[in-house]
Chains A and B, each alone.
Chain A
């Protein structure tokens, strides 16, 4: 293997364009690694911005009564926290991973459309800037919830001057995501090393391929929905106005036709990373590679036909309630296949528990929790009780924080040594893991009880019987928030040299059996795979061959 690597290096010398010097490098770069880094650093920044908003929310909810902020600002915080985390942190972080990893994993020299790649990133920044600017505006940031439901969000009191900025921000974020997704699809289909067949591709690549398709199929839907909000507000249209023959419920249908696939956009790449990490530390091939691919595709397909499970209480015809109830429950089948396969991969494996593996195991367990509460809410009559309470807040935070976010952390620990050539500090990594895992449960588990007892979501004050669990939840939240500073420290420390120990090309024992990226030098050179690899590792697909 290493002989082949040397050859690449040699080949590179002829026409190696190193990075541009100075700040300009980052602005005009077309290099997939630079752009990946930009995405990841941007996402990390937004993770802390969104996180601070969560701290405001938990501080206000620490005790009943109004303590720190006024209700409108509180609602701005819940709205902006969600938008920033979804569109500014989780989605860009996965695009960053895709930029770094997909070309490395499929033996491509770069992304297929490098200039557009640069533009996707800057469109993201532009979109987030427009959104963030509303925080400093008269009337404040949008505070009608991240779903932007009319008629609430069209009331002057709810939006102030923010609405058009939020709408245009969604347009820019949509353009960014669509361009990114197109690039990923073109790269996977057109830049893959000839030696790699579709059914040899690492699952991270597969899940991203399917996610990219979801993105192109639903981002325009969201763009259309908010465009109608804009025209209803400023151009006298009646799309969501019953007096004019329209219907506000239509907005909910359109939004969730986007919104449900959107939650899978955040979870499918998560599945992909987990399926990459677990086999390495279990020292076994991934169990059921082909079934993983099919399960991913089925989940993506189902995600288009279940949207109204978010609308059980809105007054749908009974046939609709029943259809969406059963269709939603179906998702549990392919999801169950995945959880089974991860468990089976670990079964009788020679496991070790480095930080990326710890986070991945926590993901399997805690994501399953979130899946189960999802199933509970899928039962339409039961959802009349759960809907719009803290129960659903607990549900989606279990599917997003100890799942998507944990796996993003795992990916950081897993690939940073490869990218930087430095090892992170394992002790601090494990400390970060345990603090995060314990506190995330203190933070979100009690919210199940609060929800079942009837505490509504998006409310700055509550009845006294909810006081105890809220206080516990807030304490968990503060510990969780503080623990993430450890991650920030580790990332910076690793980039600047980490433990000082030089990592091998494989980084993890026998990793090269599992993925092409581990056959490259550490740190990864600025240009890689200028000649495509002639053979690809197939350990990860052994089970299906």
Chain B
């Protein structure tokens, strides 16, 4: 291990407080918007803009520092720790919604259709999944099948995982062409996934009567797939930045934390989708 003095410790940081202010403004705006106040939307836009400026500024700074060789091996390890635990926290976040789906399907819905609850409250309720509950909240709906767009999307994401790894091999073999092509394919597949999901949502809302308000089926369906879709967007944007930096000649076989972090994130999003495909669509 090297001495502490070669570990890069920045001495001032202006972006964190700017980003925090942006995020707080955005959330305060959103809360005001939900409460029906007219200053909500402008606040959200201002906050979001500040937040985006922060992201651009901070990441540009990091990229510059990294390329000028300011980060030694230990700094790289700290970043990897950071990314790994961040992804862990995301896994937990998704686990909450998977857990909700499990609890609802296996416990709360069956309980609604048996015993005194059935006899006294909802004698006509049949506790079969998918359901929008004894109150038929949200009206008639058709559940989402697995073998149309969702299956295509599964193939897309799995392929993108392969192209991402192919790009990584290119990076390690100093084959920049392969790196760029691989990333390009990954980003394209990612955005295609998002497009297909948009089409799927459109069909659900316009033709199948399936909405976020379709009882607990609609709630779990849109919450899980929605948060996942959001993560795909974020992942694809991160990969686009990595792609852009690759075309600028950034990264070397020894120094490419940003690529690795983006790839880890992408594989995480991929695995979550497999879970979704099985538990939300298939069974």
Distance in Å from the Cβ of B209 to the closest Cβ of chain A? 14
A250 touches B104 (CB 8 A): yes
B82 engages A116 (CB within 8 Å): yes
Count of chain B residues near A, Cβ 8 A:
69
Is B132 touching A244 in the complex (CB atoms < 8 A)? Answer: yes
Q: Kindly supply a per-residue 1/0 record for chain B positions 100-143, scoring 1 wherever the CB is within 8 Å of any chain A CB and 0 otherwise.
A: 10011001110110000000000000000001111101100000
Q: Is A194 an interface residue (CB 8 A)?
A: yes
B248 at the A/B interface (Cβ < 8 Å)?
A: no
Q: Does B194 contact A (CB under 8 A)?
A: no
Interface flag for B13 (CB, 8 Å)? yes
**CB-based contact A238/B215 at 8 Å:** yes
Q: Flag whether A114 is at the interface (Cβ < 8 A).
A: yes
A119 within 8 A of B: yes
Asked whether B69 is an interface residue with its Cβ less than 8 Å from the other chain, the reply is no
Known: A186-B82, A245-B216. A224 touches B97 (CB 8 A): yes
Look across to chain B and name the residue whose beta carbon is closest to the beta carbon of A236.
B213
Q: How many residues of A are counted as interface, with CB atoms below 8 angstroms from the partner's CB atoms? A: 76
- Please name the residue on chain A nearest to B108 by beta carbon: A247
| B27 and A172 contact, CB distance less than 8 A | yes
Cross-chain contact B93 with A220 (CB below 8 angstroms): yes
Q: Is the CB of A513 closer than 8 A to any CB of chain B? A: no
The smallest C-beta distance from B38 to any residue of chain A, in angstroms, reads 14
Q: State the CA gap A337–B121 with chains docked (Å).
A: 50
Whole-angstrom distance between the alpha carbons of A225 and B103 in the complex? 14
B203 within 8 A of A: no
On whether the beta carbons of A126 and B20 are closer than 8 Å, the reply is: yes
Nearest to A174 among chain B residues (CB) is B89
Contact A241 B137 (CB under 8 A): yes
CB distance B104 to A237 under 8 Å?
no
Cβ contact of A164, chosen from B12, B31, B85, B137, cutoff 8 A? B31
Taken together as a complex, chains A and B put the C-alpha atoms of A182 and B80 apart, in Å, by 11
Q: Is A172 within 8 A of B90, CB to CB?
A: no
Distance of B103 from chain A, by nearest CB (Å): 5
A194→B1 contact, CB < 8 A: yes
Q: Is the CB of B219 within 8 A of A239?
A: yes
Is the beta-carbon distance between B23 and A236 smaller than 8 angstroms?
no
Q: Is the CB of B12 within 8 A of A28?
A: yes
Task: Say yes or no: A185 contacts B85, CB within 8 Å.
Answer: yes
Quick check: B9 and A223 within 8 Å, CB to CB? no
Contact across chains for A242 and B74 when beta carbons are under 8 A apart = no
Whether B272 is near chain A, meaning CB under 8 Å from some CB there, is no
Q: Complex: how many Å from CA A243 to CA B219? A: 13
CB–CB A108/B4 < 8 A: yes
B 46-77 to A, binary, CB cutoff 8 A, 1 in contact else 0: 00000000000010000000000000001001
- Neighbouring A residues of B147 by C-beta, 8 Å: none
Does A544 belong to the interface (CB within 8 Å)? Answer: no
Assembly CA distance A219 to B90 (angstroms):
10
For A109, A112, A164, A237, the residue with the greatest tally of chain B CB atoms inside 10 Å of its CB is: A237
The interface residues of chain B lying within 8 Å CB-to-CB of A348 are none
Contact with A along B4-45 (1 / 0, CB 8 A): 110101111111110111011001101100110000000000
**Quick check: is B155 within 8 A (CB to CB) of the other chain?**
no
Q: Does any Cβ of B come within 8 Å of A130's Cβ?
A: yes
A145-175 with Cβ < 8 A to chain B: 161, 164-165, 167-168, 171-172
Q: Are A245 and B132 in contact (CB under 8 A)?
A: yes
Q: Please give, as numbers and ranges, the residues of chain A lying within 8 Å of B90 by CB-CB distance.
A: 220
Interface membership of chain B positions 163-182, coded 1 if the CB is closer than 8 angstroms to chain A and 0 otherwise? 00000000000000000000
Return the contact of A531 from the options B4, B86, B93 (Cβ within 8 A): B4
B111 contact set on A, CB distance < 8 A: 247
B149 at the interface (CB under 8 A from A): no
CA distance A224 to B14 in the complex (A): 30
- Most chain B CB within 10 A, of A122, A183, A246, is at A246
Shortest distance from the beta carbon of A404 to any chain B beta carbon, whole Å: 24
Query: Which listed residue, A109, A119, A161, A183, touches B20 by the CB 8 Å rule?
Result: A119
**B82's closest neighbor in chain A, by CB?**
A182
How long is the Cα–Cα vector from A118 to B18 in the complex, in angstroms?
11
* A71 contact set on B, CB distance < 8 A: none
Roughly how many angstroms separate A541 CA and B128 CA in the complex, as a whole number? 59
Which of B9, B23, B93, B217 counts the most A-chain CB atoms under 10 A from its CB? Answer: B9
Q: Contact partner of B212 among A221, A231, A530, CB < 8 A?
A: A231
B9 touches A130 (CB 8 A): no
Asked if B89 and A220 sit within 8 Å, CB to CB, the answer is yes
Q: A186, B5: Cβ atoms under 8 Å?
A: no
B132 touches A126 (CB 8 A): no
Q: Decide if A244 touches B219 in the complex (CB within 8 Å).
A: yes
CB distance from B186 to the nearest CB of A (A): 26
Check A245–B23 contact: CB distance below 8 A.
Answer: no
Query: Does A231 contact B28, Cβ atoms closer than 8 Å?
Result: no
- Could you say which residues of chain A place their CB within 8 Å of the CB of B34? 164, 230, 234
Q: How far is the CB of B115 from chain A (nearest CB, A)?
A: 12
Contact A182 B85 (CB under 8 A): yes
Given known contacts A113-B82, A216-B88, A28 and B213 CB-to-CB distance under 8 angstroms: no
Contact in complex: B92, A244 (CB < 8 Å): no
Q: Contact check, B138 vs A532: say whether CB atoms are below 8 A apart.
A: no
- Complex: A223 Cα to B77 Cα, angstroms: 28
User: Would you call A245 and B131 a contact (CB within 8 A)?
Assistant: yes
A244 x B82 contact (CB < 8 A): no
Q: Confirm or deny: A217 has a beta carbon within 8 angstroms of a beta carbon on chain B.
A: yes
Whether B12 contacts A29 by the Cβ 8 Å rule is yes
Chain A min CB distance to B109 (Å):
5
Instruction: Indicate if the CB atoms of B28 and A189 lie closer than 8 Å.
Output: no
Residue of A30, A113, A236, A243 touching B78 (CB-CB under 8 A): A113
- Taken residue by residue from 239 to 274, chain A's Cβ proximity to chain B (1 for < 8 Å, 0 otherwise) reads as 101111111011001100000000000000000000
Q: Say yes or no: A189 contacts B81, CB within 8 Å.
A: yes
How close is B90's CB to chain A, nearest CB, in angstroms? 7
Tell whether B229 is near chain A: CB-to-CB under 8 Å.
no
Q: Which of A114, A123, A189, A223 contacts B13 (CB 8 A)?
A: A114
Give chain A residues whose Cβ lies under 8 Å from the Cβ of B135.
241-244
Out of B93, B133, B219, which one reaches A242, CB within 8 Å? Answer: B133
Checking A30, A123, A126, A243 against B9 with a beta-carbon cut-off of 8 angstroms, the contacting residue is A30
Q: Let me know if A362 is at the binding interface, CB within 8 A.
A: no
Closest to A129 in B: B24
The answer to whether B28 touches A238 (Cβ under 8 A) is no
**A125 CB contacts on chain B under 8 angstroms:** 20
Q: Report Cα–Cα, A234/B212, bound state, in Å.
A: 11
Known A220-B92, A245-B137; further 17 A-B contacts with Cβ < 8 A:
A29-B12, A119-B16, A119-B20, A123-B20, A123-B23, A172-B27, A183-B82, A220-B96, A221-B95, A234-B34, A238-B138, A238-B216, A243-B133, A244-B219, A245-B104, A254-B96, A254-B100
Q: Which 6 A-B pairs have the closest CB atoms?
A: A243-B135, A245-B133, A224-B96, A236-B213, A119-B16, A247-B108
Where the two chains meet, the residues of A that have a C-beta atom closer than 8 Å to any C-beta of B are: 11, 15, 17, 20, 27-31, 108-110, 112-116, 118-119, 122-123, 125-126, 129-130, 133, 161, 164-165, 167-168, 171-172, 178, 181-183, 185-186, 189-191, 194, 216-221, 223-225, 228, 230-231, 234-239, 241-247, 249-250, 253-254, 529-532
Q: Which residues of B contact A (CB under 8 A)?
A: 1, 3-5, 7, 9-17, 19-21, 23-24, 27-28, 30-31, 34-35, 58, 74, 77-79, 81-82, 85-86, 88-90, 92-93, 95-97, 99-100, 103-104, 107-109, 111-112, 131-135, 137-138, 211-213, 215-220, 222-223
